[in-house]
Amino acid sequence: MRKISVIGAGYVGLVTGTCFADLGNQVICVDIDEEKIAKLKAGTIPFYEPGLEEMVRRNAQSGRLRFTTSYPEGIKEAEFVFIAVNTPSGAEGEADLKYIRMAAEGIAKVMDHPLIIVNKSTVPIGTGDWMAEIVEEYAHPEIEFTVVSNPEFLREGAAIGDFLNPDRIVLGSTNREAAEQVAQLYLSLRAPIMITDLRTAEMIKYASNAYLANRISFINEIASICEKLGADVKEVAIGMGYDKRIGPDYLDAGLGWGGSCFPKDVKALEHMASIHGCHPQLLRAVMEINRDQRRLIIQTLREIVGTLHGKTIGILGLAFKPNTDDMREAPSIEVIHLLTSEGARIKAYDPVAMEVAKGIMPDVTYCSDPYQMAEGSDALIAVTEWNEFQHLDMVRVKELMRQPVLIDGRNIYDPQKLGELGFIYRGVGRGYEGPTVISEVKKAAS
Choose the one of ligand UGA, ligand NAD, none that binds residue 271, judging by a C-beta under 5 to 8 angstroms depending on kind. none
Q: Which of 68, 96, 99, 138 binds ligand NAD (CB under 6 A)?
A: 99
Please give the residues from 65 up to 94 whose contact with ligand NAD meets the rule CB under 6 A: 84-87
Which listed residue (4, 5, 6, 11) binds ligand NAD by CB under 6 A?
11
Task: Name the segment binding ligand NAD (CB under 6 A); options: 9-17, 238-246, 306-314, 354-362.
Answer: 9-17
> Other C-beta atoms within 10 Å of 142: how many?
6
287: contact with ligand NAD by CB under 6 A: no
For ligand NAD, which is the closer residue by CB, 199 or 402? 199
Other Cβ atoms less than 10 A from the Cβ of 34: the count is 9
Cα end-to-end span (Å), the chain: 69
CB atoms within 10 A of CB 205: 24
Q: How far is CA 73 from CA 111, 263, 310, in A?
A: 10, 35, 57
Partner from ligand NAD, ligand UGA, none binding residue 102, C-beta < 5-8 Å depending on class = ligand NAD
Looking at 19, 29, 226, 261, which residue is catalytic?
A: 261
Q: Rounded to the nearest whole angstrom, what is the least distance from the CB of residue 218 to ligand UGA in the complex? A: 10
Secondary structure element (H or E) that encloses residue 121, with its range? none
> Using the rule CB under 6 A, is 121 a contact of ligand NAD?
yes
Residue 196 vs 224, nearer CB to ligand NAD: 196
Residue of minimal Cβ distance to ligand NAD: 10
CA atoms of 211 and 113, how far apart (whole Å): 40
Rounded least distance, CB 111 to ligand NAD, Å: 14
Which does residue 117 touch among ligand UGA, ligand NAD, none (CB within 5 to 8 A, set by kind)? Answer: none
* CB 268, CB 89: distance < 8 Å: yes
**Cβ proximity to ligand NAD, 71 vs 366, nearer residue:** 71
Asked if 356 and 382 touch (Cβ cutoff 8 Å), the reply is no
Distances from the Cα of 184 to the Cαs of 23, 80, 86, in angstroms? 12, 12, 26
Task: By CB under 6 A, tell whether 260 contacts ligand NAD.
Answer: yes
Helix, strand or coil, per DSSP, at residue 220: helix
Question: Which residues lie below 8 Å from residue 230, measured CB to CB, with a gap of 6+?
Answer: 431, 432, 433
* CA angle at 64 for the pair 61 and 66, rounded to the nearest 5°: 80
Interaction site with ligand UGA (CB under 6 A)? 122, 152-156, 209, 212, 216, 250-252, 254, 256-262, 320-321
- Asked if 261 is an active-site residue, the reply is yes
CA atoms within 13 A on the CB side of 112: 7
Nearest distance from C-beta of residue 232 to ligand NAD, angstroms: 31
Contacts of 252 (CB under 8 A, 6+ apart): 216, 219, 237, 410, 411
Catalytic residue list: 261
Residues that bind ligand NAD (CB under 6 A): 7-13, 30-33, 36, 84-87, 99, 102-103, 106, 121-122, 152, 154, 156, 260-261
